[in-house]
Structure 1
Amino acid sequence: MADLNLQELEQIDGVGSVFHRPSMTSTSDIARERLLSNPQIALPMLTICDQQTAGRGQPGKSWLSDGQSLTFTLSIAASEIPEPNRSWLSLIAGVSVCESLDALDVTGSKLKWPNDVLIDRKKVCGILVEKISASNGQCFLIGIGINVNQTPEEIEALKNSDAKFPPGSLRGQGSEPIDVHALLKTVVERLHRNVMSESNWPESYQARMDFIGEQIEFVPPGGETITGVLAGVDPCGRICFEVEGKRLAFASGRWL
């Protein structure tokens, strides 16, 4: 990720400190380790690597990245985030990525609940939000991985046979490579601004959702598979389906 200028990153609005290494197992795992061991770290902390070797997605999923990806975690003190937003961080992060892509003229991004960004129904971005009790108080870790400049051949190597939605890359939308530093700066600034702004984030999220009005198979935790028409999200950010004349809402679950 030679395009990154670490001195400039430290000047990004919403960044108190930056930690970069060429390779990490997981930016969120490294961020957690640093926060647990050093109460003096300036927050928000941006943890970033060129290559991630053991990244984590949702339970049972992995997120690997090569040198053509953008992989980072923004750690923010929970006390600094408006209370309503603390329950919507995955939604806010998704909206922030889409807004950033719009600003850089990368068109067509859509959201798949709860934490994926798709272009042409290919996954270009994954989001994982975690809460930890660190040495200086509770923190949220907002991990974001974006496939940026992979060629079709490189994307093919990232495919997971179990994945419902194949991977894609931003470069796949045009022939010219994406400026990774401009993308990182735009996403981090937009993310921090949105996290700190009180707004109707479920409404903003729903406006960018894919698959609304389509029949979806969905498995709630510990439940049986349902088939319903995707209706969007409710004010709590839960996914909603119309099933046999009833609206059902779920805070978690998986797509089939």
Structure 2
Amino acid sequence: MISEETVIKLLIIDKLIHRQEYVLRELAWEIGIQPGLLERIVNDMSKNYLISIEKGRIIWNPADNPSTLKPWGWLLIHKPLLGSTQEAAKGASPWSVIVAEYMLAGKGRHGKKWYSDLGGLWTTFKILTNSQTASMTPIIIPIILVRILRKSYGVEASIKWPNDIIVDNKKIAGILIEGEAFRDQILLYIGIGININNDPPLPDTISLKNILNKLTPRNRFLSLLIGWMSRMEKLSLEPEKIRENYMEYLETLNRKVLVKTLQGELVGKAVDVRDTGELIIEVEAGEKKVLDPTHTFELRHID
């Protein structure tokens, strides 16, 4: 259930999306609350956003406001509140990126709830591509996220199969990929949730804010992500190289794992990955099993 204070924060964001600076009293009147209450709530928001009060004015740093980005070749749609960016993307044109500050019905793989608290980056990319790129997307996207975190933020991230991004065994980002045929191509909906300046509620999760001990302008991460997304088809032309990169970043490789699938539970050692993302594990007596991400509900490292 969304709290009253969160609703007020979303009203504030809705105003600041289009106008990054407001006189505090004017904004209080526009959203219908006392100036003192607005000041308290904005000060609380500054724990998760680059928002400040200076000389009676509320200012949102443009580098933290996705609406200020104008990526070439993309339509960026930024909303304070959505049910889900995945669902919103279905009504958008190809090469759209949907960004929400808060989602009421965010979901991960197999319908698991995704907690999209304020200060994170919750987004869906809608792209039109060929079947080869579509088949490799489940391993390309985790590579992109790990590269951004390592090279641009100095964070030693890795991949937990199939596509959770982890730091110190805690989840910092998740991915949900859905698709549908469109003539002779594939429409992909690539949902990506990244814990940036939010305070994730679960004990096995972490954010950039927790790691760096400071707030990070989210537009830098989003810009880097959009840049990589624009090169997806080029990346897919080198499937063996992509597979090698995925294996390099895969924390699950050579680990003992417990896997829950449609057929039941398996225990084995993760020994290889196909270039379309299936994990190969070695079970008793050297027998090898191929795990499809779509039929795998849970994987845990148990060594």
Q: Same fold (TM over 0.5)?
A: yes
TM-score, with normalisation over the residues of structure 1? 0.83
- The 1:4–1:88 alpha-carbon spacing in structure 2 relative to 1, beyond 3 Å, is same
1:188 to 212, 220, 226: 226
1:210 is matched with 251
2:248 partner letter = A
Which has more radius of gyration? Answer: 2
Which runs of at least 4 in structure 1 moved beyond 4 Å after TM superposition?
133-138
1:171 lines up with 2:203 in the alignment: no
| Whole-angstrom CA distance in 2 between matches of 1:238 and 1:135 | 27
1:159 lines up with 2:207 in the alignment: no
| Whole-angstrom CA distance in 1 between matches of 2:234 and 2:115 | 29
1:226 to 253, 258, 266: 266
| Whole-angstrom CA distance in 2 between matches of 1:226 and 1:20 | 42
1:11 is matched with 71
1:92 partner letter = I
1:117 lines up with 2:117 in the alignment: no
Q: Name the SS of the counterpart of 2:216 in structure 1.
A: coil
Offset at residue 137 of structure 1 (A)? 7.1
Identity %: 23
The alignment covers a number of residue pairs equal to: 232
RMSD: 2.2
* Structure 2 gap segments, 5+ residues each: 1-48, 50-59
Superposed CA deviations along residues 202-241 of structure 1, whole A, max 9, x for unmatched, are: 22211100132221111232x1311101113123321111
1:240 lines up with 2:283 in the alignment: no
Q: Name the SS of the counterpart of 2:99 in structure 1.
A: strand
Superposed CA deviations along residues 18-57 of structure 1, whole A, max 9, x for unmatched, are: 111111111011111x14xxxxx3x310111111221110
Is contact 1:100–1:190 with CA below 8 Å preserved after alignment?
A: no
1:250 to 291, 294, 302: 291
Q: Name the SS of the counterpart of 1:64 in structure 2.
A: coil
| Whole-angstrom CA distance in 1 between matches of 2:85 and 2:184 | 19
| Whole-angstrom CA distance in 1 between matches of 2:152 and 2:261 | 36
- The 1:134–1:86 alpha-carbon spacing in structure 2 relative to 1, beyond 3 Å, is closer
Is contact 1:239–1:250 with CA below 8 Å preserved after alignment?
A: yes
| Whole-angstrom CA distance in 1 between matches of 2:154 and 2:209 | 9
1:2-151 paired onto structure 2 within 5 Å: 2=60, 3-7=64-68, 9-12=69-72, 15-32=73-90, 34-35=91-92, 41=93, 43-78=94-129, 81=130, 83-132=131-180, 138-150=186-198
Higher RCO (C-alpha under 8 Å, 6+ residues apart): 1
| Whole-angstrom CA distance in 1 between matches of 2:187 and 2:164 | 22
- The 1:100–1:250 alpha-carbon spacing in structure 2 relative to 1, beyond 3 Å, is same
